[in-house]
Amino acid sequence: MKALLIGLMMLGAIEMASAMNHGGMLMDEKGMIMNANSDDLPRDCTKISENVDITIHAGQKYARKFTGKMFAFDQQEWDVKPCAKINITFINDDQIRHQLMIHGLPGYLYPEGMFHLELYGQGQLQASLILPSQKKTYLVHCEVPQHMEKGMKAQLKVAGGDGDLPSIPGISAPVRADVYPVDWTNLTSAILLLCVLAGCAIPYFVIIYAEGIKDVLHKSLTKLKFKRK
Ligand SMILES: [Cu+2]
State in Å: Cα 148 to ligand 1 middle: 7
Please indicate, yes or no, if residue 5 is contained in any of the structural domains. Answer: no
**Is 85 exposed, middle or buried, given 0-12, 13-18 or 19+ CB atoms closer than 10 A?**
buried
State in Å: Cα 60 to ligand 1 middle: 9
State in Å: Cα 31 to ligand 1 middle: 13
- What average pLDDT does range 73-94 have in this prediction? 98
Please tell me whether residues 32 and 143 are part of one structural domain: yes
pLDDT band per the 50, 70, 90 thresholds, residue 58: very high
State in Å: Cα 40 to ligand 1 middle: 29
The domain total for the chain is 2
pLDDT band per the 50, 70, 90 thresholds, residue 106: very high
- What pLDDT score does 19 carry? 42
Please tell me whether residues 70 and 151 are part of one structural domain: yes
Biggest alpha carbon–alpha carbon distance for the chain: 108
- The DSSP bridge pattern shows strands 72-73 and 51-59 to be antiparallel
**CATH number where 26 lies:** 2.60.40.420
Using alpha carbons, select from 84, 80, 58, 81 the residue that is nearest to residue 154: 58
State in Å: Cα 70 to ligand 1 middle: 10
Is residue 17 over pLDDT 50?
no
175-225 residue pLDDT tens: 887 777 888 889 988 999 999 999 988 888 888 888 888 888 888 888 888
State in Å: Cα 121 to ligand 1 middle: 10
Stretch among 2-11, 30-39, 161-170 having the lowest mean pLDDT: 2-11
Q: Which domain holds residue 72?
A: 22-158
- What pLDDT score does 18 carry? 43
